[in-house]
């Protein structure tokens, strides 16, 4: 029976090993993307020191529009951290769009709610592989002085290239299908690997739980594959399983089917259309949001797309389970009257499950400790196709040598 599982493990690995190695490598690079971005470009995200008085949110937006004539502002994100810059997002065409750090969270959340994780390749066909377009550049604003830094386009960054490789977006729909299929095969590779790992005796069990560092290189390669593969198997399975949500629409639909949930959730309330009179500005919206959700870590204000929609304010509270567990506040775009609020815990089961996929997949679910685990496991994931291939080649050489010896013996 083990020969059967060994053959499945081998041939699936040969078919998808290179793709798996690339996905694991790019995944390792992306684990600490946020921290690396902030360390490499601190001027974007932080101010040298906090002052006594911040500018009004509308003044921050006007500082950007003063530098970018005819700009269409779509959102503003303000942090409670006194050293963080504010982020102003502009509208952009699909061909030149990008995701701002705060905007990506909103786009990801809405894709999760709609069950459309596999459609990101169709959203932007221009640029580096498409798939993450529709948003314009981000401008970072010093909340005390109004100094503007930008534009910043995620699409032009090294990490976007890594993300495009990780999801297969560089190859368009075909590339995404190849990555998704390889990920699906990886699940079977892990399962068959665990079956092959199960020892027959207690002595063998000890050998498969500990690397023999002073052994021959062949034995060391064997242990690196077998022993480390066992310890990494559960994590790799979880990362691969959650990764399917970005490759296949049927997988996303399955989440809501299994949880018996509506992908769209409750309909957002509408503004009472006022023909005469002005609309709410960012300062007014921010003031109301602070009153309704005091003490939030961040407020991401998204302007409505038409005359009937409400202003959406995404808030992250201090007791949020993870970074993407945001609440959503709706404000009338004309009067500022609160129209309703959708807390994360009030979303249906399918939406809450789907929203956990990204922090679980990226290893950010428990902060830095889980990210370190994800980094180590992804690096190990790169090595397994290599050590496995070496084991296969060594086995082939051994079988060929055995066949030659048998031939010589028969001839004699």
190: containing domain: 2-19+173-246+366-411
Asked if residue 178 has pLDDT above 60, the reply is yes
The answer as to whether 393 is a domain residue is yes
The answer as to whether 234 is a domain residue is yes
The answer as to whether 389 is a domain residue is yes
Report the pLDDT value the prediction gives residue 179, as an integer from 0 to 100.
Answer: 97
Whole-angstrom CA distances from 167 to 36, 48, 171, 282, 387 are 20, 36, 9, 35, 24
- Residue 412 pLDDT grade (very low, low, confident, very high; cuts 50, 70, 90): low
**Total-model pTM:** 0.84
Asked if residue 92 has pLDDT above 70, the reply is yes
The answer as to whether 162 is a domain residue is no
Report the pLDDT value the prediction gives residue 7, as an integer from 0 to 100.
Answer: 92
74-83, 119-128, 253-262: lowest mean pLDDT where? 119-128
What DSSP string runs through 198-262?
A: --SSHHHHHHTTS--TTS-HHHHHHHHHHHHHHHHHHHHHHHHHHHGGGT-HHHHHHHHHHTT--
- Residue 202 pLDDT grade (very low, low, confident, very high; cuts 50, 70, 90): confident
Asked if residue 129 has pLDDT above 60, the reply is no
The answer as to whether 357 is a domain residue is no
Terminal alpha carbon distance of the chain: 35
What is the spatial distance between Cα 19 and Cα 168, in angstroms, rounded to a whole number?
Answer: 9
Sheet with 135-141, strands from edge to edge, namely 148-152, 135-141, 86-91, 73-79, 298-302, 311-316, 327-331, 338-342
- The count of domains in the chain is 1
Report the pLDDT value the prediction gives residue 323, as an integer from 0 to 100.
Answer: 82
Asked if residue 246 has pLDDT above 80, the reply is yes
pLDDT tens-digit map of 284-338: 999 999 999 999 999 999 999 988 999 999 999 988 888 889 999 999 999 999 9
The answer as to whether 377 is a domain residue is yes
Asked if residue 116 has pLDDT above 50, the reply is no
The answer as to whether 203 is a domain residue is yes
Who's near 216: CB < 8 A, 6+ residues apart? none
């Amino acid at each position: 029976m083990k020969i059967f599982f060994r053959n499945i493990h081998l041939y699936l690995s040969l078919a998808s090993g290179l793709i798996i190695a690339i996905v694991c490598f790019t995944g390792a690079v992306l684990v600490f993307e946020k921290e690396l971005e902030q360390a490499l470009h601190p001027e974007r995200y932080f101010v040298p020191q906090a002052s006594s008085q911040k500018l009004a949110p509308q003044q921050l937006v006007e500082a950007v529009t003063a530098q970018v004539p005819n700009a269409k502002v779509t959102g503003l994100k303000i942090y409670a951290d006194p050293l963080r810059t504010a982020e102003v997002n502009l509208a952009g065409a699909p061909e030149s769009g990008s995701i701002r750090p705060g905007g990506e969270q909103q786009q990801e959340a809405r894709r999760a709610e709609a069950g459309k994780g596999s459609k990101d390749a169709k959203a932007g066909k221009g640029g580096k592989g498409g798939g993450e377009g529709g948003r314009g550049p981000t401008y970072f604003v010093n909340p005390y002085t109004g100094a503007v830094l930008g534009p910043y386009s995620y699409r032009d960054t090294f990490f976007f290239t890594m993300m495009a490789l990780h999801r297969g977006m560089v190859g368009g729909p075909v590339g995404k299908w190849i990555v998704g299929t390889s990920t699906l095969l990886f699940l079977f590779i892990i399962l068959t690997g665990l079956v092959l790992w199960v020892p027959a005796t207690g002595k063998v069990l000890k050998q498969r739980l500990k690397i023999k560092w002073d052994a021959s290189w062949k034995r060391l390669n064997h242990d690196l594959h077998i022993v480390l593969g066992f310890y990494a198997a559960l994590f790799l399975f979880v990362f691969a399983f959650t990764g399917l949500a970005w490759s296949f629409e049927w997988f996303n639909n399955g989440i809501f089917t299994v949880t018996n949930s509506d992908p769209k959730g409750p309909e957002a309330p509408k503004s009472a259309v006022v023909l005469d009179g002005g609309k709410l500005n960012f300062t007014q919206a921010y003031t109301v949001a602070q009153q309704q959700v005091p003490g939030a870590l961040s407020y991401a204000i998204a302007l409505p797309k038409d005359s009937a929609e409400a202003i959406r304010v995404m808030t992250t509270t201090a007791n949020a389970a993870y970074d993407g567990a945001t609440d959503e506040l709706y404000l009338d775009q004309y009067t500022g009257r609160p129209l309703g609020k959708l807390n994360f815990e009030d979303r249906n089961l399918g939406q809450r499950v789907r929203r956990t996929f990204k922090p679980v997949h990226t290893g950010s679910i428990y902060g830095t400790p889980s990210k370190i685990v994800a980094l180590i496991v992804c690096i190990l994931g790169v090595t397994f196709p290599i050590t496995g291939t070496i084991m296969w080649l060594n086995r082939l050489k051994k079988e060929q040598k055995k066949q030659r010896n048998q031939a010589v013996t028969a001839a004699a």
